[in-house]
Structure 1
Amino acid sequence: MKRSVRASLLAALALAAGCAVPPGGEQPSPAFPAVMRPLSDVEALLDYYERLTNLQGPELAKEHERARQAYAKTRSDYHRLQLALYGALPNAGAEEQMQSLNLLEPLVKSSEHRNADLRRLALLLHGLIQEQRRLGESLNAASQKAKEEQKRADNLQQKLDALKSIEKNLIEREQRMRRRR
């Protein structure tokens, strides 16, 4: 399920950035790269997110710290969104998701922004992270319910086994009493 959320995020972010696929849906080959032009902020954030998805463990933590420092230094909308992307990663925890939602709130609530594209991206990220949280909470609730049901089933099985044992003892006792007669 997280994979589909990630795919949806990448597709939606590509649409938000206005990225177009060449006719025929083909990507430029490495031998004939596409004409380079300056990336928009949204495109740069999409590239950044893609790079983040390939990082793990210490590399991801180091990059996360670098993004935190950049945001603390500039307090720019760009760095705010860059830091908020961590909450949209497939394995983001509830705490990271909440931090990202808090970072996105000012952009989502404000209708006056210098960069409308960044605001649209913030709206998209905010919605996706909220949905990820909702799905995670639903999964946790379902998991807890399954554990409780398993515990209940185990308890019922123990009771059934005890009843079977009592029944077996009664049958054996009755058979012994018949033999004595």
Structure 2
Amino acid sequence: ALAAVIAILISLFIAYVIHRELVSKPIASALSFLAMAPFVIPGIVLAIGFYAAYTSEPLVLAGTMWILVFAYATRFLPIAFANAQAAIRSINPELEQAVRILGGTRMLAIRKVVTPLLKKSLLGAFILVFIPATRELSAAIFLYSTNTQVLSVLLFDKSDEGNFEMLASIGLVLVVITVILIAIGFRLLGRDFMLRRSAS
């Protein structure tokens, strides 16, 4: 969940900067490329990169939950970015300009205008990031430790041990959580929320 929140916040910042033209086009193109790049990087390669980067000074995260959080946030950043782009595009810039004409700052416009309009889109983005994150194994299998075992690795271990009763129980809980999240999305955002955001 924390990784999903981080991915959404980063993607919203990038999408806002790009679509409100706060940076030059070359920089905007570079930011967009970086946000979508993890989509084509295999999870194993991403995990090896994170392990190599965060096992030495100045930032040692290996063996902590933070290396998993940052790896997951990076892994699913493209999904969050695609949703953030669609959400920012749907908000007319003139609404923010009206606030600024009346003497408000950009931050005030973001807080009073943009954020309330983004609430449903943010919920949809969270669901679409959280669900695949619970099943991510390729990166987690290289980065977890005995103190930071995640659900996907636990399922893999139970399968490897032949403990199919526990495997089925955990799998059932995961399915129930997924169904509940999708039902919430359907209820609050409409029946086509997954299709609409995926297409965007």
Q: Considering only CA atoms, is the larger Rg found in Structure 1 or Structure 2?
A: 1
Q: Which has the higher contact order (CA 8 A, sep 6+)?
A: 2
User: What TM-score results when the alignment is normalised by the length of structure 1?
Assistant: 0.27
